[in-house]
Every structure is written in C-alpha cells, then in structure tokens.
C-alpha cells in the first residue's frame, strides 16, 4: 500500500440540467471554472451528488469526458464510475481511462445486496484486474446502497493492489473508521459527510486526509481553506472556518415536517427527508448558479424545506459574508437580492 497520495478538498459536483432536462454542459463548464478559481484539489463528476443513477449511459460517459476536458489539468478529476452492475462499471472505467483519467470512485453496488466478499471479488477486483493503471477510491455509503464492504475486505484488497488509494467514508461510523485506520494506517480516509469532516480530520485514531464535499459546490475556497488548515496542523483556523460553514453543512440533507390533507378531509403530519442533491441544487438555483431541477424521481421541497435551506444561506450570508463573496463575484449575482426575493424560492416548491 502506498503512503497517502490522495488528500485535500474535492467537490462532488452536481450535474446541471437545462429546462428541457438535458445536461447543461455550458453550466457544467462554468461551475468547474468556479471550482478551479476556488483552488479546489479536484472534482468528482457523476457521483451521488451528480445523480449518476439517473443519467443515461451516454450522458454518464459524456459528463466524465467533459469534466476532464474542462479542467485542462488545473485540478484533479476523480471519475464516478460505480454502478450496481460490474459490467456497467467496467464500461465507465474504460471511458475514464480513454479520457486520460487515472482515478475513479467506485460506490458499493446498490440494491443487489452483495456481501462484502462478493463486493471484493466480483466488483472491485475485476476493475483492478481489467485496468492496470487505474487507481480506485472505494465509496462506502450503506444508507444508499444497503450493503458495505468491510474494513477487513478493504485491507485484503489493498494488500493485493497498491492502486486502492482511498476510502470515501459516508457511514458516519467513527468506530468503523478507526478500524480502517488501524488496519491500514497508510490508507487515505476521505470524509464523505460534510458535517463530520472536522471531527474525523482532527481525530488521531482516524486521521482523515480530507473531504469529498457537497457544500464546496457553493463554497470551494472556504472548504479548501478548512481542509488545508487541518492538514497543516492549524486546528484553530480549521475550526474557525468549519464553524462558519456549519449552517451549510446542516442542509446537505433536509428534514422538514408538513401537513397532508387526507381524502376524508382530516390531516396528517409527515416528516419528509429531502436528500442530496435536492438541497444543494435548491440552494444553487436560489442563488442563481447553474443547477436546474434534479432528475425524477427527485423533485421539489415543501415550503418548510425551502425555508430551512434559505435560512441557512441567509445565516451564512449575514454572519460570514466572506464565505459567499467569491460566489457573488464569480457568477455576478446579488446574493442579498436573491435571498430576499420570495418569487425565486416559492417557484421551487410543490406548495401545500
């Protein structure tokens, strides 16, 4: 296993769509330029945030190619090539390799429910065997996939292939991450949850090497500053930035309670859980950044959900304007005006 060579702040990019539902490549390029301007270490196209399960095969491949083309070597590219089909994943990996990308993110296979052993032998190993130059980041997110490769199987895999360079940890399980670090002290553990990045980067039993962030879609400079500060040992600076970003970290997933009117006229209170990338796309659309609606079956938020997102943005704008200043200047938008415009936000909800 190599000494950690995958670290820093990486953005899990959204995939912007036009009103007709097609991929907005002009907006995609603009958003990548913003990431580069913000000093991001690298970008991750077509991951969870990029709505990979909702893209057609040709769209998925095209977004990978365009990401490499648009970056022009100015930041790293980690291609999202995972699938619940090994054959499909192999195809996306081929696109990455042919595009000149040598790092890919493979999410544990979702829905099929393979065991950890099956994931290792029938998914990760075939990719590593097929592409001898490719480096892989293992993405563990059981809340989405319903399965998870174990730390032990990752250790076996990384012992046989030195091209297993990192784990994107989205389990929220501190004990598991500690076990990973104990078994593989030279393995890069990357935070896949913005709200615990500071915690696991400052935990010596985990030693996270950075983050693959959702919130850096709108705050790459700040997220990069936090991660770089923590990597250099400046905990105080890292904590200061993390505290400013905390309201944004809280809206990657949004829970909101609202009322449903039943057929008999009675009412029921329901808690909706609006999951990534709905909230970040809602925020970006509200601020005037290329995003577009998510692909179905994702849709819109309730007014209560919109209020939570809007409130978090307002709090950061009012208390820590430096976080949003690069956004305002790059896109030429008036954030205060957009946050105050009810029409902007009301049109992004189903209503009551």
Residues designated catalytic: 139, 168
| Matching residue, tokens 């959900």 | 305
Of 122, 84, 127, 86, the closest CA to residue 104 belongs to 127
Helix-helix angle 220-231:235-249, to 10 degrees:
140
């Amino acid at each position: 296993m190599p000494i950690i060579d995958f670290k820093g702040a990486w953005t899990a990019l959204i995939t912007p769509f036009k009103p007709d539902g097609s991929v907005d490549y002009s907006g995609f390029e603009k958003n990548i330029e913003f990431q580069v301007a913000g000093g991001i270490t690298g970008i991750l196209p077509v991951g969870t945030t990029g709505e990979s399960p909702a893209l057609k095969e040709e769209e998925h491949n095209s977004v990978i190619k365009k990401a490499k083309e648009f970056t022009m070597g100015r930041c790293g590219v980690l291609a999202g090539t995972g699938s619940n089909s090994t054959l499909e994943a192999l195809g996306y990996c081929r696109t990455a390799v042919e595009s000149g990308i040598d790092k890919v993110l493979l999410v544990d296979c979702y829905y099929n429910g393979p065991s950890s052993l099956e994931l290792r032998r029938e998914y990760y190993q075939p990719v590593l065997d097929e592409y001898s130059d490719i480096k892989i980041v293992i993405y563990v997110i059981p809340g989405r996939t319903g399965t998870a490769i174990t730390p032990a199987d990752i250790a076996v895999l990384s012992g046989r292939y030195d091209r297993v360079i990192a784990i994107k940890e989205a389990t929220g399980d501190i004990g598991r991450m500690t076990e990973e670090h104990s078994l593989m002290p030279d393995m890069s553990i990357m935070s896949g949850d913005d709200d615990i990045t500071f915690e696991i980067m400052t935990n010596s039993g985990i030693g996270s090497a950075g983050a693959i962030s959702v919130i850096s879609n709108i705050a790459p400079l700040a997220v990069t500053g936090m991660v770089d500060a923590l990597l250099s040992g400046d905990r105080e600076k890292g904590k200061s930035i993390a505290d400013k970003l905390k309201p944004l970290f809280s809206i990657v997933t949004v829970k909101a309670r609202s009322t449903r009117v039943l057929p008999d006229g009675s009412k029921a209170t329901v808690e909706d859980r609006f999951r990534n990338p709905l909230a970040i796309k809602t925020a970006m659309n509200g601020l005037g950044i290329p995003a577009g609606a998510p692909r179905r079956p994702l849709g819109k938020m309730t007014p209560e959900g919109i209020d939570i997102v809007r409130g978090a943005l307002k709090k950061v704008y009012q208390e820590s304007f430096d976080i949003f200043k690069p956004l305002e200047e790059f896109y030429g938008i008036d954030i205060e005006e957009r946050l105050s415009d009810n029409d902007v936000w009301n049109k992004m909800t189903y209503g009551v």
